Amino acid sequence: PFKCIGLNNDNFMNTYYKTQSLHYDAYRQKMLHGKTPLMFSIPWQKYVNKRVLLLAGGTGDLIEYFSKWVPDMKEVVISDISRPMLDMANARIRNMGWNNVRTRVEDVMSADGLVEEDIGTYDLVICTYSITMMPNWTKAITRANKYMNSDSMFAVADFTLNDEQNMISKYF
């Protein structure tokens, strides 16, 4: 019999990303091509004085897309299950000198994974190339929705397949 460790097992994720976190952004950029169009489609000026959550936000690379708006936002939170990825995000935050950006270790798939005091408080929740990596992606979407207030936007870019893709691209 096989034992499924699950991609949301924090020990597995910390070990896996420990060696990758330093170079993660550089080698993922070309492969994860949906991030840029998604991030440029968001009306950032609408989120001045608002709360933004990068759910499964890894190294926090997405923040580079809206860095000029960050100082005017109420708060930006980068959550991820992997401590090594968040270490990279924390370095990014320190380098930029932001005091309204923070990180937190979070497993949205665990029974106690949601941060109670943050439920219903975010104006924008962003997930890129992470939902389909979670063992139960429908549960992940439901959990993300719980963080959103009644006027929130949920911005997602993820892996997809369609008939128009060439054969090679279906593997990436």
Question: Residues 27-71: pLDDT tens digits?
Answer: 555 556 788 899 999 999 999 999 999 998 989 999 999 999 999
> Which amino acid is residue 47, in one-letter code?
Y
Q: Which residues contact 73 (CB under 8 A, 6 or more apart)?
A: 47, 48, 49, 50, 51, 52, 100
Answer whether residue 24 shows pLDDT above 70.
no
Query: Average of pLDDT values for 103-108?
Result: 91
Nearest to residue 62, comparing CAs of 50, 70, 71? 70
Place of tokens 């004085």: 49
Phi, psi of 13 (to 5 degrees): -65, -40
| 3-class SS of residue 33 | coil
Answer whether residue 93 shows pLDDT above 90.
yes
Separation CA 55–CA 35 (nearest Å): 14
pTM of the model as a whole: 0.79
Q: Which range, of 4-8, 16-20, 40-44, averages the lowest pLDDT?
A: 4-8
Q: Residue 152 has which token pair?
A: 């929130």
Q: Residue 120 has which token pair?
A: 């219903």
Separation CA 83–CA 60 (nearest Å): 12
Q: Residue 4: which pLDDT band, with cuts at 50, 70 and 90?
A: very low
Separation CA 66–CA 46 (nearest Å): 12
Q: Which residue has the higher pLDDT, 172 or 36?
A: 36
Residue 79 pairs in a beta bridge with: 104
Query: Average of pLDDT values for 76-95?
Result: 94
Q: Residue 6: which pLDDT band, with cuts at 50, 70 and 90?
A: very low
Q: Residue 9 has which token pair?
A: 């097992």
Query: Average of pLDDT values for 102-113?
Result: 86
Answer whether residue 23 shows pLDDT above 80.
no
